[in-house]
Amino acid sequence: MNLDISATEYISQVRNGTISAEEFVSKTIDRIHAVENKIHAYITIDEKNALDAAKTIDKKIRAKEKVGACFGMPLSIKDNICTMGLKTTCASKMLEDFIAPYDATVISRLKAEDAIILGKVNLDEFAMGSTTEFSFYGPTKNPWNTQYVPGGSSGGSGASVSALECLISLGSDTGGSVRSPASFCSVVGLKPTYGLVSRYGLVSYANSIEQIGPVAKKVEDIAFILNIIAGRDPHDDTTMEKKNDDYTKDLDAGLSGKKIGIIEQMTGSGIDREVLSATNKAVSKLQDLGAQCIPISLDAVEHSVAAYYTIASAEASSNLSRYDNLRYGFDFGTEGFEFKAYVAKVRSNFGPEVTRRMLLGAFVLSAGYYGKYYLKAQKVRTMIKSQIDEAFKKVDLLLAPTMPILPFKIGEKIDDPLTLYLLDINTIIANLTGIPAISVPFAISSSNLPIGIQLFANSFEEKKLLQAAYSLQQTANLPKVPI
Amino acid sequence: MTKIGLEIHCQLTKLESKLFCNCKADYRNLAPNSNICPICIGLPGSLPMLNKRAVEKAAMISIALGCKIPEKIGFFRKNYFYPDLPKNFQITQYNAYGPTSIGSEGKIAIEGKEIRIRRIQLEEDPGRLVYEGSSEKTQITLVDYNRAGTPLVEIVTEPDFESPRQVRIFLNILADLVENLGVSDPYLEGAMRVDGNISVEKGNRVEIKNVGSFRDIEKALHFEITRQQSLVERNIPIPAETRHWDEARKITVSSRSKEEEEDYRYLPEADIPIIQISANAVSVLQRTMPESIVAKKERYIKKYGIPPQVAEVLSSDKFYSELFEKAHNEKNAKEAANIITTDLMGFADTREKKLELKISAKHLSDLADGIVNNKITRNSGKHALQEMVKTGKSLSEIITALDLGHVSDVSSIEKIVDEVFKEEEKAVLEAKQNPDAVNYIVGKVMRKTKGKVDPSTTLEIIRKKLSS
C-alpha cells in the first residue's frame, strides 16, 4: 500500500473502497515501527485505540452510515495540545505524567469528523526552540537526512508527515514553529491568523502570539483541515468567526492580476545562497503565472527578533509559573520541603532553553524594567503592524524564504542561543502582527536538503493565501523523501 | 495627624458562576475541591472566559461610588507563587499603565467628610488554605480550590480617614450599598474583607492584613494608633511594614518588612480581549440600577414625610426597605415605616431572624392601614405584629383571636371609665386636685382593655367626667 498520498487522495480512496481506514492506519503504524528508531517523531503512540477507531469507521462506511469528513485519516498531534486520556507532556519532565481530562477544541472538532489520533509528537520543551533538540525525550531527526535537525519547535509534526508516519499533523506556531519544520522537512505548514483557530487545550507558551497550525503534504490538505478547526470557539475569547465558508473551494483560482511583495529585508544579506536562488526562482515562477512581484521594504523587521523574544519570554515566564508539581506533573514527594523550597526544587527540572526564557521573561517584567523592555517591544510590534498594514494596501501577498538557511546538523548550534533566535527572523513577523503565513516546499539543495518558500496574507485572508500557495505548489517538482 | 486608607475585597456573591468559568460562585458548604474545573484550577491548556455579568456588577459598584468608568477595560496578571493560587498568578486589573480597571477616582461622603476612592478593580479570589491545627505549628497545609476564581471587587480608598470610627461608619455604608445594589451579601462569612494602612504624624505607613471582621479592623486600627503614638513619643522610628492582626491576642504582629515586598511582574492578560464600555452602556446601567440609599432616603422624607432618622434607618436596610416598598401606600407610608423601624427591626435584627419572619407585605400593609383608620391602636398593633411575625396569620384573624379590636365608640369607653372610677376612688379624688394624676387612671383603663382603647379619646372622657 502506498502511504505517500495526500489526505485528499486518502479520502477519495476510502470513499471508493480502494482502501479501508483500518488497512491504512495499520500500515501507517507498521511504518512508524519501521522508521521511528531513525526519526523519533513520536512521544506517545496510541496504537490500539487508533486501530479500534479505524475499525468502527470502516463499519460505518460499510453500513453506509454517515461518516465524518476525515474518514478515519490518521493524524499526529504536537504534544502540547491536550488530548483526553493521552499524555500531554510538552516534551518536559514537568508534565511527564500529565493526562488532560479534556480534549483541546481542535481535537474534539477533528474527532467529531472521524479523524484518528495516532499519537503525540515531539517538540522543543514547551515549544521553545527552532530545532526540536530541546526535548526532554531527545531530538527528532530530519527524514531527509537523519543527521540534521527537522526544524522546530513542531519538529515531530514536520518529520511525522514527511516520513509518512501520519497524513496530517497539528503543530503550534509561536514564532515560526510550524513553518520552520515544514520548510526543513519539505512539507506544507500554515500559521493561521491569530484568533482563527481556538487555542483552548493548547498549552500556553506565548499566548498573545501563538496559534495551532496544520502540517501536511499538500496545500489542499491544509485547506481541508482548516475547514474543520477554524472558527469561533466559546472556550477561547480571542477567537473570531471564520470569514470564508470553504477553504478548499477555488484553490486553483490562479494568480493572474495578483500583486506579491518580496520582503527586501528577508531576501538580502545573511541569507544562504541556495535559499536565495530558490526564492528568486519561486518569484519568477509566480510571475510566469501572472502575478506582479514588487520589492517591499519593512525596515521594522530588524527589531522584530528582539521584540519577539522580549514578549514571548515575558509571557512564558507567567504561563509556566503554574508548573509547581502540586496538582499534576511528575512523581516527586513533598515530604521534608516547605512550599518555596519544594517549588524551587521541582522547577529545576525545566530544560535549559525554557529556564533561559523564563529568567529573561521575569527580568523584563520586573519593577523598573517593564517600560524599558516589555513596553518598548510592544511599540515595535505596533510599528511592524503598521508597516504590514501599509504593505497590504499595495500588495495582496508578501513573500520571503521561510528559513534563512538550510537545515543544519543536530548539535551544531545548540550551544548558541542567539544564532538560533536569529533563525526566526523571517517567520516571527506573522506572530507579532497576527497575520497568516504558509510555508510551501519548493526546492531541494545541492546537499539534498529541503527549501521552503513562505507566503503571507493579511489577517483572515487564508483563502487568498491558500490559493497562492496552491499555485506555487504546482510549480514545484520535488523528489520523494529518501527515508 | 492620623491617616488611614483601606483596601476592601468584596465578593460578588449574587453571581451564579465564577469569574472565568462555569463553576458555582457560591463555594460555601461544599466538599473540598468539588467546585472546580480545568479553568479555575488552571490546568495546562485551559483559558479564562470572562463572566460579563461580573463586569456589569463591578460597574454598578463603581457608578454607585461615583467612579469614572474608562472606555476600555483590560486585565493583568499579578505573578507570585502561593499554594492557594493555582496558576501562580492572579488575574486582576492594574492602572499603572493607564486606567483600565473598572472604576477610578470616585468618592463617597460620610458624616460630611469626603472619602476618595482611588480605584475599583475586578479580580479572582484565590483558593483557601486550611491548616491542620494552628497555622504556626502545623506540618500540613491543605488547599481547597472551591473558592478559586470567585468574582471579587477590590475597592481601594485614598488615606482619607482620620479615625477608626470613620472607618467603621464607611464600612457600614459600603456594606449597605453593595447589598442594596444586589451585587453582594456582605454578611456572608468572608464576603467582605478589609486590609488597612495607617500612619500617625512623623511615622511611616503600616499595612494591616488578615483582619477577619469590620469590628476587628476598628480594634486593629485603635491598637495601631496607640502602638505607633507610643513609639513616636519615645522617639523610636516606625518602620514601613506589613503587620498581621492576631485575632486571639487582639494585637498586630509584624509579618514582613516593606523592602522585601514581592515584585508582582504585572503583565497584560492576552487571553481576555480588551472590553469596550460605551458611555451609552454606562448610562443604561445607571438607569436600570436599583435606587441608591441616599435617593431612597430623600424620597421617603419628601414624598411621605417620614422623619429623617426613620428614613435613614429604613433606606439603609435592603430587606426592610424592600418590605416597605411592597407594603406601603400613600396613606399608610409613615405608619408602615414606623412599624418597621420601631418594632419589626427589634424583633428581627439578624439575617437568620429576618429569614424566619412570617410577615408578608400584605400583613404589614393591613396593619398600617388598621392603625391609620383607627381599627386598632398602636399598642395593640404591636401585639398583633408579634403574632404575625410568629404565625403568619392575617390581621383580622389575629384581632378576633386575641380580641384586639379597637374600642372606639364613646359609650363603651365611658362604661369602662365608670368601672375604673368605682375601683379607684382615691385616685379619682387625687386627680381632681392634681391634673397630672389623670395619667394613672388612663393607664388603668388601658390595662383593663388590654390597650384596645384610644388613649386620647379616653383621656378626654376622663377629664369630662372629673370636671362634671
In chain B, what are the domain boundaries? 3-281, 306-402, 410-467
- Report whether A263 contacts A296 (CB < 8 A): yes
Where is pLDDT greater, at A122 or A418?
Answer: A122
CA B94 to the chain's CA centroid: 28
pLDDT band at A165 (very low <50, low <70, confident <90, very high): very high
Q: Which residues pair with A44 in a beta bridge?
A: A120
Chain A residues in contact with B83 (beta carbon < 8 A): 324, 326, 339
Among the listed ranges A187-191, A325-329, B11-15, B129-133, which one has the minimum average pLDDT value? B129-133
Q: Do B50 and A237 touch (CB under 8 A)?
A: yes
How many Å lie between the alpha carbon of B155 and the closest alpha carbon of chain A? Answer: 23
Q: Does A379 touch chain B (CB under 8 A)?
A: no
In sequence order, what E strands does A14-148 have? Answer: 42-45, 74-78, 116-121
- Per-residue pLDDT reduced to its tens digit, B207-225: 998 787 888 899 999 999 9
Q: In the structure, what pLDDT confidence band is assigned to residue A185 with cuts at 50, 70 and 90?
A: very high
Instruction: Tell me if chain B has a CB within 8 Å of the CB of A334.
Output: no
Q: In angstroms, rounded to a whole number, what is the distance separating the alpha carbons of residues A70 and A68?
A: 6
Indicate if the pLDDT at residue A80 is higher than 70: yes
Contacts of B261 in chain A (CB under 8 A): none
Mean pLDDT is lowest, of A254-258, B152-156, B255-259, B292-296, for B255-259
For A339, the closest of B48, B83, B265 (CB atoms) is B83
Question: B15, B277, B22, B29: which is closest to B152 by C-alpha?
Answer: B15
User: For A238, phi and psi rounded to 5 degrees?
Assistant: -90, 0
Please tell me the CATH superfamily of domain A1-483, with its number.
Answer: Amidase signature (AS) domain (3.90.1300.10)
- Given a contact cutoff of 8 angstroms between Cβ atoms, the answer to whether A173 and A154 are in contact is yes
Check CB contact under 8 Å for A324 and B88: yes
Beta bridge partners of B103: B120
What is the predicted pLDDT for the residue at A256?
92
Looking at chain B, which residue has its C-alpha nearest residue A235?
B49
Does A339 reach chain B within 8 Å, measured CB to CB? yes
Nearest-CA distance A138 → chain B (Å): 22
Is A386 annotated as catalytic? no
Tell me whether A375 touches chain B (CB under 8 Å).
Answer: yes
Q: Establish if A324 touches chain B: CB-CB under 8 angstroms.
A: yes
- Identify whether A366 is a catalytic site residue: no
Task: Identify the residue with better confidence: A460 or B133.
Answer: A460
- Write out the H or E segment, with its range, that includes residue B176: helix B164-181
In whole angstroms, what is the distance from residue B174 CA to residue B186 CA? Answer: 9
Q: Which pLDDT tens digit goes with each residue over A362-419?
A: 999 998 898 899 999 999 999 999 999 999 999 999 999 999 999 999 999 999 888 8
Residues of B in contact with A326 (CB under 8 A): 83, 143
Question: Are A169 and A76 a contacting pair, CB within 8 Å?
Answer: yes
Interface A-B: count of C-beta contacts within 8 A:
98
Q: Is A366 near chain B, with CB under 8 Å?
A: yes
Give B344 or A149, the one with higher predicted confidence: A149
Q: pLDDT class for B341, splitting at 50, 70, 90?
A: confident
Instruction: Using the predicted structure, report yes or no on whether residue B251 has a pLDDT greater than 70.
Output: yes
Residue with cell 521561510: A402
DSSP secondary structure letters along B310-352: HHHHHHH-HHHHHHHHHH--TTTHHHHHHIIIIIIHHH--SHH
pLDDT score at B407: 67
* The residue to which cell 498581621 is assigned: B244
Find the closest chain B residue to A344 by CA distance.
B81
CA distance A46 to A84: 12
Quote the CA–CA distance of B88 and B77 in Å, as a whole number: 10
Higher pLDDT residue, A283 or B373?
A283
**Do the chains contact at A203 and B50, CB–CB below 8 Å?**
no
- Tell if the CB–CB gap between B44 and A88 is shorter than 8 Å: yes
The cell numbers describing B370, all together, are 388598621
Residue of A nearest to B264 (CA): A366
3-class state of residue B126 by DSSP: coil
Of A92, A162, A177, A304, which is the active-site residue? A177
Residue B457 has pLDDT above 90, yes or no: no
> So what's the pLDDT on residue A126?
98
d(CA A228, CA A109) in angstroms, rounded, equals: 7
Q: Which residue of A has its CA nearest to B261?
A: A367
pLDDT tier, B259 (very low <50, low <70, confident <90, very high otherwise): very low
pLDDT at B65 over 70: yes
Sole residue written with cell 449597605: B176
What confidence tens digit (pLDDT) does each residue in A9-40 have?
999 999 999 999 999 999 999 999 999 999 99
Q: What average pLDDT does the segment B326-350 reach?
A: 81
Contacts of B148 in chain A (CB under 8 A): none
DSSP for A83-122, written as a single string: BTTBB--TTSGGGTT-B-SS--HHHHHHHHTT-EEEEEE-
* Cβ within 8 Å of residue A435, ≥6 positions away: A193, A388, A429, A456, A457, A458, A459
pTM of the model: 0.89
Residue B290 Cα to chain centre, angstroms: 15
Interhelix angle B164-181/B214-233, nearest 10 degrees? 160
Q: Is the peptide bond before A153 cis (omega within 30 degrees of 0)?
A: yes
**Residue B383: predicted pLDDT:** 76
Nine-digit cell at B216?
Answer: 476587628
pLDDT at A244: 67
* Length of chain B as a residue count: 468
| pLDDT above 60 (res B257) | no
Asked if A208 has any chain B CB less than 8 Å from its own CB, the reply is yes
Q: Which of A82-91, B118-127, B300-309 has the lowest mean pLDDT?
A: B300-309
Please list every residue in chain A whose beta carbon sits closer than 8 Å to the beta carbon of residue B272. 237
For A365, which of B41, B45, B267 is closest by C-beta distance? B267
Selected for mutation to probe chain A from B17, B47, B259 (highest A CB count within 10 Å) is B47
Question: In angstroms, what separates the C-alpha of A400 from chain B's closest C-alpha?
Answer: 29
Nearest to A243 by CA among A466, A468, A15, A476: A466
Is A153 in the active site?
yes
Is A145 in CB contact (< 8 Å) with chain B? no
Selected residues 103-132 of chain A with any CB under 8 Å from a CB in chain B: 104
Nearest to B254 by CA among B265, B266, B240, B275: B240
What is the per-residue pLDDT for A229?
A: 97
Question: Are B42 and A104 inside 8 Å of each other by CB?
Answer: no
Mutate to test the interface with B, among A327, A369, A375 (most CBs of B within 10 A): A327
CA distance A126 to chain B (A): 11
Quote the ipTM score.
0.95
pLDDT, tens digit (0-9, with 9 covering 90-100), for A201-218: 999 999 999 999 999 999
What is the fold, at CATH topology level, of the domain defined by B410-467? Arc Repressor Mutant, subunit A (1.10.10)
Interface of B with A (CB under 8 A): 38, 41-50, 77, 79, 81-83, 86-89, 97, 141, 143, 263, 265-268, 270-273
CB A80 within 8 A of CB A203: yes
- Per the listing, cell 507567567 goes with A318
Whether A235 contacts chain B with CB within 8 A: yes
Nearest chain A CA: its distance from B76 CA (Å): 11
Q: What is the pLDDT of residue B405?
A: 65
Q: Which chain A residues are within 8 Å of B77, Cβ to Cβ?
A: 318
- What confidence score (pLDDT) does residue A450 get? 98
Do the Cβ atoms of A365 and B49 come within 8 Å?
A: no
Taking contacts as CB-CB distances below 8 angstroms, the residues of chain B near A204 are: 44-45, 271
Given the C-alpha cell 503554574, which residue does it identify? A322
Q: How many CB atoms lie within 10 A of CB B249?
A: 8
pLDDT for res B437: 77
The shortest C-alpha distance from B144 to chain A (Å) reads 12
Using a CB–CB cutoff of 8 Å, tell me whether A321 touches chain B: yes
Number of H helices, E strands in chain A: 15, 11
Candidates B36, B77, B88, B269, partner chain A, best to mutate (most A CBs within 10 A): B88
Does the beta carbon of A393 lie under 8 angstroms from any beta carbon of chain B?
Answer: no
Q: Do B44 and A322 touch (CB under 8 A)?
A: yes
Residue B20: its chain A contacts at CB < 8 A? none
pLDDT tens sequence across B105-154:
999 988 888 999 999 999 999 999 888 766 566 677 899 999 999 999 99
Q: Which of A92, A130, A135, A153 is catalytic?
A: A153
Average pLDDT over chain A reads 96
Q: Closest Cα of chain B to A115: distance in Å?
A: 21
**Which chain A residues contact residue B141 at CB under 8 A?**
339
Name residues whose C-beta falls within 8 Å of residue A244's C-beta, 6 or more positions apart in sequence. A462, A463
Which three-class secondary structure state does DSSP give residue A453?
strand
